[in-house]
Structure 1
Amino acid sequence: MKPFTCFWLTAAWLLAPAPSFSAALDEELAAALNAAKWTSSLRLELQRPIDPRLARIESGDILRCGLFPGKAHLVHNAAEVRRLSGTLAPGDQLVLAAGEWKDASFVFEGHGTMDAPILVCPEKPGGVVFSGASSVRFHGDHLVVHGLAFHGITVTRDSTTIFAAGNGEARPARHCLFNRIRIEDCGSPNPEDRARNHVWLMSMRGSDNTVANSTFAHLHNIGQMLGAAELPPEGLQRLHILNNHFSSRPYVDRQNGYEVIQIGWSGARAAPTGSLIQGNTFEKCDGENELITLKASDIVVRGNRFVGSQGVLCLRTARRVLVQDNVFDGQGRENTGGVRLQGDGHILLGNTFRNLNKPADYYAWPVSLMAADVETFGETDELGGYGRAKNILIIRNRFEHCDKRIAAGIYARPEFPLLPVNVRVQENTFSGMKSGSSFDYVAPDPSGALTKELHESGNRDAP
């Protein structure tokens, strides 16, 4: 059988393939740390390079990129996929026949290599759309799943996953690429079920995987668009979420659980991950106040755009997170926020906070630091709710036409008595805003200790 052509046209909103942690950005960080005389606890050595196969796949005709020299296997239904599971050789292609794949569910296992991964793609670009009650699950090593679409998937039961990477703890996905996947308009047809039936558009379990250049839109149910809560039992997660578009996550009710992305979970010890969230766009994502929730450590969040979204990037139970060169543009919508911090060792560098207006509460401030109940999250058996915000550097960011600035010690109360410690705010620009301190909310502290922990220098107001 001759190889099929499975190239995929680049959508206008996608960014160029993400580079590795570049020298220019290293220099930006180094210059900021030097200016602040700040000793960083970031563990950037845990980061892996961007998978070099992604650039080759994105260069044009995917089958002419040199990665898939093996045999092409054309399949017409889920049963044929299941029969081939676990049998393909490195470099082979599993080619899905063009058409609507309705109510198609399968698990596929494959074991490729770095130089010869196994490809899963449609027979024709855009030619395969999963519908009805479809769901798919992939596990193994060095799989490339490219160009599949899921539209209008009907969900009638709780805890439904539409696209899963990894099949339980014993069968993870490792060193896999999931590229140009589209998952749209999926969920419960009955509006009354949307707050009860948890849905994951995509879930990730394993290590060294990449989700790139994909579209996630119009999820109304409780659950995540991309969930990666279960970290590997050994080793680092090192998940890369690159150049994707997340949109139209509407508000349903006040429950927790409507995040767009979740990494880790609060029942674990803020484990290191070495994961990267880069180059993504989040547009009109209003599901809850935590748009992204990070419940793990050693993560880089860089070069993303948050547009008109009523939620924040929340460093929920995280340590040593770098938040760099992102744009938080509320477009003047009420209750659009920026970054909420708990934990220690975080750096906010070079971000733009723009038109974030009328926060309903302190959660939605451009930048807020919470009060806490444990000194360092994850160091004892009693994990607690929040780790103290401490050793935080906020440097060379721009705040443009926002109604607020930075809030320190939000929601301090007897059960959360630990206020921020050693917070440096330096060389930031506040444009089109009322002049004054960088901190427009400071929690009451009769001892006066909190104000001595908030250090401002070199900040400036601009028209």
Structure 2
Amino acid sequence: MIQKFVTYIFFFLVFTQKIAAKVYLISSEKELKAIESILVPGDEVEIKNGNYNNWAIAISAKGSLAKPIIIRAEKSGLVTFSGSITKPVFKISGDYIFIKGINFKNAVLSKTGVLIELNTSNNCRISGCNFSANQVQSQFTPLVIVSGNGSNNVIDGCSFVANVDNQDVQVKITKESYPKFTLIENNIFSDKVKVSWPNGNGGECIQVGQDPVLLGNQRPESTVHKNRFIHCNGENEVISNKSSGNKYLNNYFEDNDGELVMRGGHNCVIADNTFKGGTGGIRINGTGHMVINNKIDGIQTAIRLMYGMAKGKEEIGFYIAASNCTIKNNTLSNATTGILIGDSKDADWTGKFDIKRYPSPVMQSVAPFDNIIGENRFKNVKAEVVKR
């Protein structure tokens, strides 16, 4: 019996040695590609301190909850990727892979260039990375994409500062696929100048969904939580929601030229956010949104409920009228108008969108309806609630 036990322990130790986690110190794309296929749970890849360019790495390894695979700077903040980007620098399609402490600075992205893409990944994380002074050459190009049919991916503790003409973070939604339960948390977005594109679009800090007209009913159920947005002037939508079932919680907005916008989609929660100064607060299209416990100070019109071309979740409209939304327990101060019910009344969109692709009326003639508005607090607001 003792002999069998000793034999068992021997083989157990041999086996665990074979699968023991390792730390790899690398300094080139070639070295990382050489080990990608042998990475196991608990392995760490340290990128040697320095400046890098012309990397395009695809990683499909699988870590575990207890032992994620970590790809990180040798020392946080001392690894920087820059230069011309034509492919994803890091394309992650595995499970429990963490990217930590890497800088992306002064990169120039082509239409196909991305800094990090989490594609059909599960439980992967981008943490403590810095994205600064990067620029894109094609409209609607993001720095970071979460795409495919993965779930439970996280972007946290990152900074997005002074990037130009780009979207910072995009949750990509198509007819065939979209990620579930993405968490974007504790990041800072700042000092974003107005985009140079002729129509002024494509400069969102966060975009959840891309086609609110045909795909607004898709439910990625993303959460955007405890982020800070300061001097984000890229376009009119600091955050652009174009899908359903998402949550925007406890975020802080200061002196932005733009709003938190429900451009499309339904049944989202916008709660406990703080807005100080800037040009806009919260803008609502769609049905069933909850707008509660927000604090908005020093903005001309704090909350806007918009006219649409259609109503409900089944009709096709380039904009859907705000309906069945709850606007309660918000604190609105130092504003000209607290809550505006019915902005963009009878706006004419003739020639401004493709009516073959989007078979929608061109007039914003459907008024907001069946919204519950009450128990909001107003301080130094000239007109508390205005209906058009």
The question of a shared fold, defined as TM-score above 0.5 by the shorter chain, is answered with yes
Residue 161 (structure 1) aligns with: 114
The one of 304, 311, 328 aligned to 2:275: 328
Q: CA deviation at 1:117?
A: 1.3
Note if contact 1:207-1:232 (Cα within 8 Å) is conserved in structure 2: no
Q: Which residue of 2 aligns with 1:453?
A: none
What is residue 288 of structure 1 aligned with on the other side? 235
Task: Supply the distance in 2 between the matched residues of 1:406 and 1:142 (Cα, whole angstroms).
Answer: 44
Match of 1:439 in 2: 385
Tell me the secondary structure at the aligned position of residue 108 of structure 2.
Answer: coil
Per-residue Cα deviation, 1:405-462 (whole angstroms, up to 9, x for no partner): 111121222722211111222111111222x5x323x22xxxxxxxxxxxxxxxxxxx
Match of 1:214 among 155, 158, 178: 158
User: Residue 357 of structure 2 corresponds to which residue in structure 1?
Assistant: none
Gaps of 5+ in 1: 1-67, 167-171, 358-364, 444-463
1:108·1:137 contact (CA, 8 Å) conserved in 2? yes
Deviation at 1:105, TM superposition (A): 3.0
Q: Distance in 2 between matches of 1:160 and 1:127?
A: 23
Match of 2:308 in 1: 372
Preserved contact between residue 159 and residue 197 of structure 1 (Cα < 8 Å)? no
Instruction: Give 1:197 deviation, angstroms.
Output: 5.2
1:144 maps to which of 89, 98, 107 = 98
Match of 1:23 in 2: none
- Structure-2 separation of matches of 1:198 and 1:232: 18
Given the alignment, which residue of 343, 361, 384 partners 2:286? 343
Please give the secondary structure, in 2, of the residue aligned with 1:141. Answer: coil
The residue identity in structure 2 corresponding to 1:217 is: V
Q: Are residues 1:73 and 2:1 paired? A: no
> For residue 312 of structure 1, what is the aligned residue in structure 2?
259
- In structure 2, what is the equivalent of residue 114 of structure 1? 65
C-alpha displacement of 1:185:
0.5
TM-fit CA distance, 1:356: 1.1
Q: Tell me the secondary structure at the aligned position of residue 207 of structure 1.
A: coil
Corresponding position of 2:202: 257
Q: Take 2:177 and 2:115, find their aligned partners in 1: how far apart are those partners?
A: 26
- Post-superposition CA distance 1:276-299 (Å, at most 9, x none): 100000011111111111111111
Match of residue 421 from structure 1: 369
How far apart are 1:158 and its partner, in Å?
Answer: 3.0
Deviations 1:223-261 (A, max 9, x none): 311011226946861110000000111113443221111
Q: Which has the larger strand fraction?
A: 2
Deviations 1:281-333 (A, max 9, x none): 00111111111111111111110001100101111111111111100111xx4
Q: Which runs of 5+ in 2 are unaligned?
A: 1-18, 347-361
Distance 1:207 1:303, change over 3 A: same
Structure 1 segment 28-427 matched on structure 2, within 5 A: 70-133=21-84, 135-155=89-109, 157-166=110-119, 172-187=120-135, 196=138, 198-205=140-147, 206-221=150-165, 223-230=166-173, 233=176, 237-253=180-196, 254-266=199-211, 267-330=214-277, 333=278, 336-357=279-300, 365-377=301-313, 379=314, 383-413=316-346, 415-427=363-375
> Could you report, residue by residue, the CA deviation over 1:336-386 in whole angstroms, capped at 9, with x for unpaired residues?
1111111111111111111114xxxxxxx3111111122224x25xx3212
Structure label with greater radius of gyration: 2
Q: Give the superposition deviation at 1:397.
A: 0.8
For residues 275 and 184 of structure 2, the distance between their equivalents in structure 1, rounded to whole angstroms, comes to 18
TM-score norm. by structure 2 comes to 0.84
Q: Which residue identity lines up with residue 315 of structure 1 in the other structure?
A: M
Q: What CA deviation, in whole Å up to 9, does each residue of 1:4-33 have, x standing for no partner? A: xxxxxxxxxxxxxxxxxxxxxxxxxxxxxx
Cα distance in 2, alignment partners of residues 270 and 82 from structure 1: 39
Asked whether the 8 Å contact 2:139–2:202 carries over to 1, the reply is no
Amino acid across the alignment from 1:202: V
Q: How many Å separate the matches in 2 of 1:352 and 1:136?
A: 38
DSSP-derived class of the 2:33 partner: helix
Instruction: State the SS of the aligned residue for 2:77.
Output: coil
CA separation in 2, counterparts of 1:122 and 1:143?
14
Q: Assess if the C-alpha contact under 8 Å between 2:221 and 2:245 holds in 1.
A: yes
Worse overlay, 177-186 or 146-155: 146-155
- What SS class does the counterpart of residue 93 from structure 2 fall into? strand
CA distance in 2, matches of 1:422, 1:197: 37
Identity of aligned residues (%): 25
Letter in 2 for 1:105: A
Asked if the contact 1:372/1:388 (under 8 Å) is kept, the reply is yes
Aligned equivalent of 1:43: none
SS of residue in 2 equivalent to 1:201: strand
TM-score, with structure 1 as normaliser: 0.71
Instruction: After superposing the two structures, state which structure 1 stretch, 228-237 or 304-313, moved more.
Output: 228-237
Contact 1:216–1:225 (CA<8 Å) still a contact in 2? yes
